[in-house]
Structure 1
Amino acid sequence: MKEVLRQHIIKRLGKEPDGLEKVLNHFEPQIAKRGEHLLQQDELCRYVYFIVEGCIQVYVIDKNGNESIRDFYLEDYWVSDIFAFQNQSPASENIKCIEPCKLLRIHFDNFQRLAEQLPPFAGIYKRLLETAYNNTVYRLNSLNSMDALDRIKWLMEYKPALMTRISSKLIASYLGISPETMTRLKGKL
C-alpha cells in the first residue's frame, strides 16, 4: 500500500523528495469496513488518512439530526477534518467509509514531527490544504449557481465514478436535491 502513497507524493511534487522513506515509515495501514467511522463529530481528530482503495463520505449532523454531506473521497486522495486535526480540537465532521477501504494513516504527533524535520513534507501538507480548500470552494460555487439537472450533469463530469459507486439517495443529499428529483432527472439523461 505504501507504494501507492509513494507514487502519489512523487506525482504531486514532480520528483521524489529527500526523506520520502522516512515519511512513508510513519504511515500505518488500516483496513476499514463499509459503514465504519474513521471520525465522528466531537471526537479528537488524531489522524490524516490517505485512501488507497475505497470511498469515504464526509458529513455533518445538525442539531435537528439532519445529515449534510460535504463531500465524497475516492482512491488517491487525503481525508481528515483538517481544521480539527491541525488544532487538535473536537471534530466538526463525521468521516465514514461507504465501501470497504484500504487506508494509510498518520498520527498527529508523527505528522508534526515530520513537518518540522523535513521541509518537503511540510510542502506536501501545504498542498493538501490548498487542494482541499480549492475543491470545496469550486464545488460550492459550482453547485450554488445550478439547478438540479445541471448539478447532476456537473457531478457526472467532475466526479463520474460517484455515479456508479454511491447510492442515488446519498448523491441526492450531496447535490442538495430530493431522492425523487434525482431519480426523475437521471431518467432524462
Structure 2
Amino acid sequence: MKTTSFFCILLLLPLFTFQACGQNKETKSSTIIPVEKNQGKPGNPYYSHTDTNKLNLSNAEWKKVLPEDVYAVMREAETERAFTGKYWNTDVKGTYYCASCGNLLFRSGAKFASSCGWPSFFEQENKKSIVFKDDNSLGMERIEALCGRCGGHLGHIFDDGPAPTGKRYCMNSIALDFVPDTK
C-alpha cells in the first residue's frame, strides 16, 4: 500500500513542479513588442525607462493601458505556462525592464539557465527595483516578487540560485521587456 502511494506521488510530482513558480491559470503566450530604450509604449503613458517615481494606480487604470494577457499576470498574479515565454531560454546581452511601467529590473549578466521554464536571475539591478511579499497561495509558502515602481507581479524568488547570491528570481517573460545591448 505504501509503495503504491509513493509511486502515485512520483507520477503527480511533475504536475506540482509545473506550478512551482506560482501557476494559477493558463494565460496565452504573447509576443511582447520590443521597446527601444527610453521610449514609451503606445497607449501606456506610465511606461518610462527613466522615471523612478512610484506609481499608485488602480487596477481599472492599468486595465485601460495593458494588454489583457499582461494585465492578467501583472495585476492578477497569474502565471504564464512554463517553457512558453519569450525570454526563458535566451542569452542575448541586454537589459530587462518591467512590462507595465518600464522600471529597470535586471541585466542579462545576472540571468542563468535554471531549467524551471521561466527566465531566472540571481540578482536584481538595484535594491529598489523589486520588492517582496509573502505569498501563501496554492498551499505553498513562497515570496512574491513585485515591481518596485508599479507593484506589478513579476514572479517569485527562491533560495536555490547560484553564487554569489544563492537567489533565483523566477520571472514571467510576459512581465518583462528586453532591450538588447548595442555594439
Query: TM-score normalized by structure 2?
Result: 0.29
- Structure number with the higher helix fraction is 1
